[in-house]
Structure 1
Amino acid sequence: MFSSYKNSYLQLVCAVNPRLLNKAVDYALRKPYSDSHDALPPAQRLESMQPSLYAPHVDISRAKIGFGVTGLRVLVRQLHSEDHLVQLQALHSVLDEVQITEHAMVLINLHIAYRLINLMLNPDPVIKEKICMILTHLASYYQGRKQIMSRPIIIENLMWLMMRERKEIRYAAAYTLRNLARDRCACEILMENEKIVDNLLKTIKNDHKGIILLHLKTLTNLAEWDPVIPLKSNAFRIMLVLFDDFDPRIVAGAMDCMTQLCKHDVGKILADENDLVFKLKKYLTSKHIEIIISAVCLLNYTTLTTRSKWRAKECCYELTRLLVNLCHVPNLPPLQINAMHVLINLCDCPDVRYHLKKYWENKIKAIRIRTDEQWDGTSETTSYGFETGHNYRTMCIEGVETIKNDGGNDLECLNVSSYLRRVCEVKEKLIRAINWKCYKD
């Protein structure tokens, strides 16, 4: 039988639909059935369940037929069919096919990206949304990103969709742009468009939360490639305003973008003028772990200047206490390594260094670091088979922060052993910085 609480079946193969068995058992036990949606007023229904974008005579959840590799050429030709219904069916079928790696590579070799880019400004909103979703899948492959970015007109098309279309299309276009900006080579081509950063900063102010979050990730990748253009567009001031947002994801995203801006000398000067060290101190005690990680990463770059070190000296006891406590979080190695980096930066100030040696040296030496078997490369621990369901083969957990390499196409890959070895080296460096003495002493 099917258990709705555990999202699993008692047996993998059954000749009868398990839900039918559940209904038969409930009927035999005379168990009353009540749906919360039938109550007046309807419960658990915050908005209409009917989609605002729908395709007539097309099942939006499945393709018309199961195409093989030989049928993909027919699909590509049908994208420009004069029959609007055939065109919609072809788009829905392509959206299903690009989720299979082999079929996606075949479609890329058939230059499907060029045909999709030509259809992006079609007056039908369903076509616009589905094309953005297909391009998002194609952008996850190196060959797909290379083919898409060979037509710079896509940048203008995405800007047009994000600025003037309805929210579903804006979200799909923002997702496509975010996937394209994950590649460094694509960032170079994107930054050649002078209006892209200005348009993203304009839409960040008054858009939906999910779209703002995608734009923040795009700006973070673009600022990592070249922080000069965002700084000229007043991105620092806008990110500072987003620190007071109610959504913790937006606050963390704004801090991540600010981190890339503070890597530049102008960003460090602006951080000192706005006193970011004092402003970030309150976020170290936040109840959201993603905000704490982003705040510590930002402190790692805002405490590099002499002015920020002497400002940190004014709240030396409270700031060092918070950072040392964050170092004692063994289940979050990214938080540990960044907190220790901040303490190393503060050790350049003699008064802070003496304070750490007098009060916190023994506690710093007792920092425990995870082993390879205890850490899976993410900053959050997830439990398969408990509340999320037993069928782990079909699960997809999104939103868990993964430690990334500094460069290359495989940005989500991680060598756990080398990262933990790096944490141990940073701990030893912090102990040496505490015990360092000036040649005058």
Structure 2
Amino acid sequence: MFCPNKNSYLQLTIAMNPRVINKAVRRAMRKKQFDPHDEIPPAQRLESMQPSMFAPWVDITRAHLGFGRRGLRLINRELNSEDSLVQLQAIHSILDQVQISENAIFLINLNIVYRLIDLMQDRDPIVREKVAYILTHLCNYHQGRQRIMSRPVVIDHLIYLIMRDRKEIRYAAALCLKTLTRDRCSCEIIMKNDKIIVSLLKMIKDDHMAIVIFHLNSLKNLSEWDPVPALKANAFQVMKKLMKQQETRIVAAAMDCMMQLLKHSVGKKLADQHDLTHYLRNYLVSPDIEVLIAAVGLMGYTTLTTRGKWRAKEFSFDLTKRLVTLCVSHNMPVLQLRSLQVLINLCDSPDIRAHIKKHWEKKIKSIKIRTHEQWDGTSETTTFGLETGHNYRTMCIENVETIKSDYGDSIHAVNVTSYVRRVQEVKAHLIMLINFEPYLH
């Protein structure tokens, strides 16, 4: 049968749509096709085979203009045209041109951002959607973020699109906001808007899955800058409910967001009151690697408090066994680093430290750590070719999560060698703690 993830010989040569063959085979087998995205809960993947918004009588690829610096100036001027058709063609042409770095920087220097922010309130839904995508591309540049954040009214426009517009525009606005929050200077300006945290928490509850994940990433970045507004808006309770979802991507994103909340003293108290250390035990045996990484990272903060350590002491045998197994069976530096950090936190208790030394010291010393040649600095578990086959022409590859350091001046800088060295240092520190004695014989 036809596999949508790979370009088979049948797909590339036959004139008939292979999905028709699949449908005929299922009907002959009397096999009912089950789509998990039609089930509850309502926060599901945003999918549309045919868009509900379209631009009639418009070549949506390019305007009838020559390009180059002079052409970009003309397109920028046509954004102010009274003819909606000319304006729409210019917007689609700009969306094509911002894919090129040189043209994007040139358009930013032409102050195109200010006109685009005004067009976010346009009546035409096509204009609102494409403008959100253009701003998303411009957010990837420092000059673009500077000009966008110089007009904080853009946050109000994004909130309006996220709260009240149709799903395609909500998706584009959520993507734009997530891209903006990746910059810490932008987070400082965004957090001055009192509506942003409450609006995101409202839309997280019952929106499409892809939009919910964007909102969770935005909340994580904003909470990393200042977790107090999110804690005041009961974000802790909302994240705990999202952790019960069936979709693993939402569960992992909710755990990452809660991890930022637990960096505050109020978040640690809430974790102790809700017995979060015991609650995370079930996630440590999850078959999904993303949930495992997020759960172990969250437990690294729940075991910092004295109450969390005493709670972990009640099931220390199962917990330490699972954490050591994760370090030995997986050679992912991210998972190993977080598991070792939890073990270091538990070693503050003398009983747990003695138990680890007695049963798991040899296992910990035999942990194998990747070299920098074997690791590309990402937490992706599957290779590109294995996942997508030869379908590189039509498959949409999402951005792979990249490891970043949690402290220092260059917080977003990635250095694979230093990160692997950090895992080795944490392992050596754990072995030293296991053999630590508070007195001399």
TM-score (norm 1): 0.88
Instruction: Give runs of aligned pairs for residues 146-295 of structure 1, distance below 5 A.
Output: 146-295=146-295
Shift of 1:364: 0.5
Distance 1:6 1:204 in 2: 33
Does structure 1 conserve the Cα–Cα contact (< 8 Å) formed by 2:5 and 2:388?
A: no
The residue aligned with 1:141 is 141
Shift of 1:7: 4.9
Q: Deviations over 1:136-165 (max 9, x none)?
A: 000011111111000000010001111110
Q: CA RMSD in A?
A: 2.8
Q: Secondary structure, in 3 states, of the residue corresponding to 1:67?
A: coil
Q: Bigger shift: 321-330 or 398-407?
A: 398-407
Does structure 2 conserve the Cα–Cα contact (< 8 Å) formed by 1:384 and 1:392?
A: no
Distance 1:74 1:8 in 2: 45
Distance 1:343 1:282 in 2: 18
Q: Deviations over 1:71-120 (max 9, x none)?
A: 00101111111111101000000000000000000000000100000111
Q: Which of 36, 39, 54 is the matching residue for 2:19? A: 36
AA at the equivalent of 1:273: Q
The residue aligned with 2:313 is 313
Q: Bigger shift: 333-342 or 429-438?
A: 429-438
Does structure 2 conserve the Cα–Cα contact (< 8 Å) formed by 1:324 and 1:364?
A: yes
The residue aligned with 2:366 is 366
Shift of 1:208: 1.1
The residue aligned with 2:103 is 103
Does structure 2 conserve the Cα–Cα contact (< 8 Å) formed by 1:161 and 1:170?
A: yes
Distance 1:73 1:300 in 2: 53
AA at the equivalent of 2:222: L
Does structure 2 conserve the Cα–Cα contact (< 8 Å) formed by 1:37 and 1:45?
A: no
Shift of 1:35: 4.1
Structure showing greater relative contact order (alpha-carbon pairs closer than 8 Å, 6 or more residues apart): 2
Q: Secondary structure, in 3 states, of the residue corresponding to 2:90?
A: helix
Instruction: Give runs of aligned pairs for residues 421-440 of structure 1, distance below 5 A.
Output: 421-439=421-439
Question: Structure 1 residues 411 and 379 mapped into 2: Cα distance closer, same or farther (>3 Å)?
Answer: same
Question: Structure 1 residues 134 and 280 mapped into 2: Cα distance closer, same or farther (>3 Å)?
Answer: same
Distance 2:272 2:248 in 1: 24
User: Could you list the runs of 5+ residues in structure 2 that have no partner in the other structure?
Assistant: 36-46
Shift of 1:328: 1.2
The residue aligned with 1:13 is none
Find out whether 1:342 has 2:325 as its counterpart.
no
Distance 1:412 1:97 in 2: 27
The residue aligned with 1:15 is none
Question: Structure 1 residues 80 and 300 mapped into 2: Cα distance closer, same or farther (>3 Å)?
Answer: same
Shift of 1:388: 2.8
Does structure 2 conserve the Cα–Cα contact (< 8 Å) formed by 1:213 and 1:249?
A: yes
Shift of 1:176: 0.4
Question: Structure 1 residues 240 and 48 mapped into 2: Cα distance closer, same or farther (>3 Å)?
Answer: closer
AA at the equivalent of 1:193: N
Does structure 2 conserve the Cα–Cα contact (< 8 Å) formed by 1:37 and 1:44?
A: no
Distance 1:345 1:221 in 2: 25
The residue aligned with 1:325 is 325
Does structure 2 conserve the Cα–Cα contact (< 8 Å) formed by 1:332 and 1:380?
A: no
Shift of 1:410: 7.8
The residue aligned with 1:16 is none
Q: Secondary structure, in 3 states, of the residue corresponding to 1:374?
A: coil
Does structure 1 conserve the Cα–Cα contact (< 8 Å) formed by 2:62 and 2:89?
A: no
The residue aligned with 2:38 is none
Shift of 1:382: 4.0
Shift of 1:249: 0.5
The residue aligned with 1:14 is none
Q: Secondary structure, in 3 states, of the residue corresponding to 1:145?
A: helix
AA at the equivalent of 2:423: V
Q: Secondary structure, in 3 states, of the residue corresponding to 1:102?
A: helix
Does structure 1 conserve the Cα–Cα contact (< 8 Å) formed by 2:162 and 2:169?
A: yes
Shift of 1:351: 0.8
Does structure 1 conserve the Cα–Cα contact (< 8 Å) formed by 2:95 and 2:134?
A: yes
Shift of 1:60: 3.1
Q: Secondary structure, in 3 states, of the residue corresponding to 1:71?
A: helix
Question: Structure 1 residues 131 and 33 mapped into 2: Cα distance closer, same or farther (>3 Å)?
Answer: closer
Distance 2:269 2:422 in 1: 29
Distance 1:167 1:407 in 2: 37
Shift of 1:206: 1.4
Shift of 1:329: 4.0
AA at the equivalent of 1:340: L
Shift of 1:381: 4.0
Question: Structure 1 residues 34 and 109 mapped into 2: Cα distance closer, same or farther (>3 Å)?
Answer: closer
Q: Secondary structure, in 3 states, of the residue corresponding to 2:155?
A: helix
The residue aligned with 1:12 is none
